[in-house]
Amino acid sequence: MNGKIIDFMQWRKIAGAASIALFVLSLVFLVVRGINFGLDFTGGALIEVEYVEAAPVQEIRQTLTEAGYRDVTVQLFGSETDVMIRFQADNDPDLGNKVVDLLTASGAELELLRNEFVGPSVGEELRDKGGLGLMLALAVVLVYVAFRFQFKFGIGAVAALIHDVVIIGGIFALFQLEFDLTVLAALLAVIGYSLNDTIVVSDRIRETFQESTETDVVKLINIALTDTLSRTLITSFTTALVLIALLIFGGQMLAGFAEALLIGVVVGTYSSIYVSSNILLATNLTRQDMIPPSREEPDLTEEKPSWLQDD
Amino acid sequence: MNRYPLWKYLLILMVIAFGVVYSIPMLYQPDPAVQITPASSGLAIDEGLQEDMLAKLEASGIQVKLDSTVELNNRSAIIRLADDDEQLPAKSALQDLLGNDWVVALNKVPTTPDWLTALGARPMSLGLDLSGGVHFLMEVDTEAYLNTRQADNVSAIKRDLRGERIGYRLVDADPDTARVIWLGFRDNEALRDGERYLERNYEQFTIDRTDYNDMPGLRLSLSDQEVANIEEEAVKQNLTTISNRVNELGVAEPIVQQQGTNRLLIQLPGVQDTAQAKKVIGRAANLEFRMEAQPGASSATSETFRYMNAARTAKLERDIIITGDVVTNASVSFDENNQPQVNITLSSAGGARMNQATRGNIGRRMGTLFVEQKTRVERTVVDGEVVETTERETTKEIISLATVQSALNSSFRITGVGDINEANELALLLRAGSLAAPMYFVEERTIGPSLGAENIRIGINSLILGMALVVGFMLIKYRAFGAFATVSLCVNILLIVALMSIIGATLTLPGIAGIVLTVGMAVDANVLIFTRIKEELNKGALPQSAIKAGFERAVVTIVDANVTTLIVAAILFAVGTGAVQGFAVTLAFGITTSMFTAIMLTRALTNLVYGRRNVEKLAI
């Protein structure tokens, strides 16, 4: 093995403590502040209008509250002429037009861009389904990794995923960022991304265990992490690049998606280095664990389908 | 070393050709158009009509697309227009010409060249967030349907037992659960006869002997399976009715489909007038025809109703002659006083019943009742929690009360239906059929056309910027190999678009976000390979063997890492709806195609450039 081996694991106690602290803190935020669920989950009405001139946010809120709509929130949406209005209302075929009429009564010129209504039962169902999806994803990942690698790797991978999801949730709770369907999609994509990272590292750990003559487990993990470091950083970097592109051009509709993923990429990169390796050490990973019971000798070509093999 | 046999290059070229053919239809902008479809089956589009339509458009100053004629497609005709802004004027001009027998709808027709269409290549359809339009999610009130069905069963059982001369005393629907009907009999003999009769003729019920109101009685209950069947039936019938109504609305390419057990998803691209659409789609309206009550009739046989358009009331009999269900056709015309009237045609059974009821009642008045089910959601705060109660009410109002001049049969007319719009709407509702069960809106989204166009721009810009950043980085970092990766990346996007077009996926904004994300993550496979090659070189391997070892060792990792992500995408698809599913599909395709491009295509390019010769140094 050439090059310098970075001693990642010397900070593993600090990293472990930091992860646990962040995790607990995130749970606290999730419980105390709660998630700011978007319309998809809470139900209610949402109307987006575009003014010709700058939108009078205060006036809009006052007008609608006086007209009897409940829980009215008005916010600028991307530009100062674009306004998003949310409130609780019964479903009404003319709702969009009624609101526009109310707002144009003062002589303002505006255009109705979007008008959405989500029934509360739908939102509730979605929340249940989303939670179920997360659980299911975690369970399947555990089984797959345990099967493909070893049970301890499965635990490591799932721990890293829970770590990532909870911390992203905590950040969303702390800053009260809106959690809508696209954010849920992002959260699930983060699971995919972080998993990808963790598997690449695990794969390397397994390979190092099998091929190196080194016996010290901590050192073996350090070798594997050092070998994959440049790949880990480059992939995170390219993914971050496209997410920045989405943040710049994606507008408000994709902002939550890009934010969640960006946080996810940072947290996921960190967790693939520290969380899963830490768990592997904590569960006393040994070289014996790495010798597949059914196979005498690890054979890399065996895993490849024929079309992938080189002639 | 590092040579590919010819067949592998050919395979790769074929895959790329496939990607090109099936993704280029996306580059052709669709033409704005109007689509004309006959409302009833007897009508056909002949040449005279085609000329009339084109002449009418010309007379109204609407530009038809250059060299375009009327295109016939099944039973409908399509006329392409020069400009988006002319769609609405063209629609009203043609509707004016053709009248109510024809449905004129706005449409977008693809401009894909014929040779591509012949290969089955067509552009991906755009989701509502990109095209603009309305999205509804409606819930079918299956409970209400079950109640109605049981009420029908109660009357049918009474009628049958009477007909069989079986001495029953009571037939009641259980007040608490819609699944149970109770029967009380005069004596044990009647009970035995009744039981035997019901077992033969009402097989859907499980029948148990039990006393009812101190009488020998029976308990008829529906099994879970039966209830599920009945509910399924309600949803299916509502689906059909809603599809009919949507077709009547004249929307091009509408989507009406069942979602879950009791919900219907309705998407109407291009529709902006939601109020009108909702009114027609969601209306649980029907008609009832009853005779006016005789003076002095008791409240057991008569009911008092209000008029729809006047502050008066009238007393009608409780017996219903027919309901709107037996209406086979309905159209609007004007009566002698130039007031709109609805002409109704009944099925033969309905006509017979109408004839029977009116034959002996000439000179009496018959009332037409408009029956509407409405849903009101009330929110109240109980213990700090918002509690929702849904209240359903049925209103019945008299549209007209007219003297029966002669015995009616299967076609007649009703007057007093309000203005022309209301008459049209009533005729439409009668034609399209009534809803089996009331429905209410649980979700509604309207996206304006300008927002749709804006979302497309957003998606494309993000994709271009994301690509530029990643490609720039890869070229700087890996030079020649970065160029290979760039080619792979472009082919990758081509393949994703091609695959999505082929399976008929709908492109949504989150879908585009998925493609953008794929761009960032797809280079991962390349990065894995390239870092491996570098590693091998650092270990002192020769360039050729470094390439070989780099690719081979990275493949296992790539497959492992991607399979897990694929699993997550599958779960995302399974639990998600709409936009989330779109995202999952792009993610899954992105992963699959990126494995192909990174492993096979990048390798092929590397082999082409570096294979078969002595290489001193790699530009990596």
Question: Can you tell me the mean pLDDT for A55-81?
Answer: 81
Domain coordinates in residue numbering, chain A? 8-35+122-290, 44-118
A8-35+122-290 in CATH: which number? Answer: 1.20.1640.10
Domain boundaries, chain B: 6-25+448-610, 31-109, 143-226, 283-447
The answer to whether A111 and A55 have CB atoms below 8 angstroms apart is no
Sign of CA dihedral A123, A126, A130, A131: positive
Please determine, for residue A293, whether its predicted confidence score (pLDDT) is greater than 70: no
Instruction: Output the pLDDT for position B420.
Output: 78
A77 — contact with chain B (CB < 8 Å)? Answer: no
Interface contact flag, B446 A182, Cβ < 8 Å: no
Question: Is B157's pLDDT higher than 80?
Answer: yes
The mean per-residue pLDDT over the stretch B408-436 comes to 77
Superfamily of domain B6-25+448-610: Multidrug efflux transporter AcrB transmembrane domain (1.20.1640.10)
A75 vs A221, higher pLDDT: A221
Topology agreement, domain B31-109 and domain B143-226? no
* Chain A residue with the nearest C-alpha to that of B599: A308
Superfamily of chain region B31-109: ACT domain (3.30.70.260)
A280: Cβ–Cβ under 8 A, 6 or more apart, which residues?
Answer: A152, A153, A156, A205, A221
User: pLDDT by residue (tens digit) across B281-321?
Assistant: 777 677 888 888 888 888 878 888 988 777 888 898 888 88
Nearest CA in chain B to A303: B556
Q: What CA–CA distances, in Å, run from A275 to A158, A240, B548? A: 10, 21, 33
**Confidence tier at B270 by pLDDT (50, 70, 90):** confident
Tell which CATH classification among 1.20.1090.10, 3.30.70.3400, 3.40.50.300, 3.40.50.620 matches the domain A44-118. 3.30.70.3400
Percent of chain B with pLDDT strictly greater than 70? 92
Are the beta carbons of B275 and A91 closer than 8 angstroms? no
Which of B477, B516, B556 minimises the CB distance to A242? B516
Q: Taking CB atoms and an 8 Å limit, are B274 and A93 in contact across chains?
A: yes
**Residue A267: per-residue pLDDT:** 94
Residue B517 to residue A148, Cβ atoms within 8 A: no
CATH 1.10.390.10: does it fit domain B283-447?
Answer: no
From B593's Cα to the closest Cα of chain A, the distance in A is 14
**Does residue A240 have a pLDDT over 50?**
yes
Q: Is residue B482 a contact partner of residue A238, using CB atoms and an 8 Å limit?
A: no
Which residues have CB under 8 Å from B22's CB, separation 6+?
B119, B121, B497, B498, B499, B501, B502
Amino acid at residue number B610: Y
How confident is residue A301, by pLDDT bands cut at 50, 70 and 90?
Answer: very low
- pLDDT computed for residue B487 by the predictor: 95
pLDDT at site A297: 46
Does pLDDT of B112 surpass 80? yes
Residue B118 DSSP SS3: helix
Predicted confidence at residue B378, as pLDDT, reads 57
Q: Give residue A261's pLDDT band: very low, low, confident or very high (50, 70, 90).
A: very high
Is residue B472 predicted with pLDDT exceeding 90?
yes
- Name the residue facing A241 among B455, B473, B584 (closest C-beta): B473
For residue B147, the model assigns a pLDDT of: 83
With cut-offs at 50, 70 and 90, classify the pLDDT of residue A43: confident
- For A137, the closest of B451, B528, B571 (CB atoms) is B571
**Domain B143-226, classified CATH 1.10.3470, yes or no:** no
B123 confidence band (pLDDT: 50, 70, 90): confident
CB atoms B556 and A300 under 8 Å: yes
Least confident of B134-138, B279-283, B407-411, B496-500: B279-283
Question: Distance, in angstroms, between A103 CA and closest chain B CA?
Answer: 18
Nearest to A117 among B441, B466, B563 (CB): B441
* pLDDT at A23 (0 to 100): 96
Q: How far is A133 from chain B (nearest CA, A)?
A: 6
Per-residue pLDDT of B572-601, as tens digits, reads: 788 776 667 777 888 889 889 999 999 999
Contact B531 A231 (CB under 8 A): yes
**DSSP letter string, B203-243:** TTEEEEE--BTTB-EEEEEE-HHHHHHHHHHHHHHHHHHHH
pLDDT one-digit tens code per residue, A131-181: 887 788 888 888 888 888 888 888 999 999 999 999 999 999 999 988 887
Q: How many CB atoms lie within 10 A of CB B519?
A: 27
Point out which residues pair with B65 in neighbouring strands: none
Kindly report whether the global pTM for this prediction surpasses the value 0.80: no
* Predicted ipTM of the assembly: 0.81
The B residues from 518 to 557 touching A (CB cutoff 8 Å) are 519-521, 523-524, 527-528, 531, 535, 538-539, 548, 551-553, 555-557
Q: What is the pLDDT of residue B467?
A: 93
Tens-digit pLDDT profile for residues B24-71:
888 887 788 888 877 655 677 788 888 888 888 888 888 888 666 677
Of A120, A230, A300, the CB nearest to B531: A230
